[in-house]
Amino acid sequence: MNEERREFIKKTSIGFLAGIGVSSGLFLNFLMEKTDASLWSDKTVAGTIRWGMLIDMRKCIDGCQKCVDACRLAHDVPDFGNSSRQIEWLKKSPYSEVFSTSGRDFISTERTKKSIPSLCNHCADPSCVRACPTQALFKRFDGIVALDYHRCTGCRACMASCPYDAISFNWSDPRPAIKTLNDSYPTREKGVVEKCNFCSERLLKGKLPACVDACPEKTLTFGDLNDPKSAIRQLLEKNQTMQRKPELGTLPSVFYII
Residue 235: Cβ-neighbour burial (10 angstroms; 0-12, 13-18, 19+): middle
- Are 140 and 148 in contact by the 8 Å Cβ rule? The answer is no
Q: How far apart are CA 96 and CA 84, in angstroms?
A: 18
If one asks whether residue 191 binds other proteins (CB under 8 A), the answer comes out as yes
Which of residues 6, 10, 104, 156 is near other proteins by CB under 8 A? Answer: 156
Window 134 to 153, contacts with ligand SF4 (CB under 6 A): 134, 136-137, 145, 147, 152-153
Residue from 32, 107, 155, 177 in contact with ligand SF4 (CB under 6 A): 155
Tell me which of 94, 154, 216, 249 binds ligand SF4, using CB under 6 A.
154
Is there binding between residue 242 and ligand SF4 (CB under 6 A)?
Answer: no
What's the rounded Cα separation, in Å, for the pair 54 and 181?
A: 29
Among 91, 195, 202, 233, which residue interacts with ligand SF4 (rule: CB under 6 A)? 195
Closest CB to ligand SF4 among 106 and 252? 252
| Contact partner at residue 145 from other proteins, ligand SF4, none, CB < 5 to 8 Å by partner kind | ligand SF4
Query: Is the Cβ–Cβ distance between 239 and 250 less than 8 Å?
Result: no
**Partner touching 121 among other proteins, ligand SF4, none, CB below 5 to 8 Å by kind:** ligand SF4
Selected from 31, 32, 248, 251, the binder of other proteins by CB under 8 A is 248
161 is a contact residue toward other proteins (CB under 8 A): yes
- Measured CA to CA, the distance from residue 136 to residue 35 in angstroms comes to 8
Q: In this complex, which beta carbon is closest to ligand SF4, that of residue 67 or of residue 120? A: 120
Residue 144 interface partner, choices ligand SF4, other proteins, none, CB cut-off 5-8 Å depending on type:
none
Cβ(79)–Cβ(86) below 8 Å:
yes
How distant is the alpha carbon of residue 116 from its chain centre?
15
In the chain, which residue ranges form alpha helices assigned H by DSSP?
2-23, 66-74, 95-98, 109-112, 127-131, 157-161, 200-203, 210-214, 231-238
**Minimum distance from CB of 213 to ligand SF4 (Å)?**
21
Cα–Cα dist 155/118, whole Å: 24
Separation between Cα atoms, residue 112 and residue 93, nearest integer Å: 10
Strand partners, 255: 54
CB of 161 vs other proteins, minimal distance in Å: 5
Q: Nearer to ligand SF4 by C-beta: 44 or 234?
A: 44
Please identify which residue in 159, 177, 231, 242 interacts with other proteins, judged by CB under 8 A: 159
Q: Using CB under 6 A, which of 22, 31, 64, 131 touches ligand SF4?
A: 131
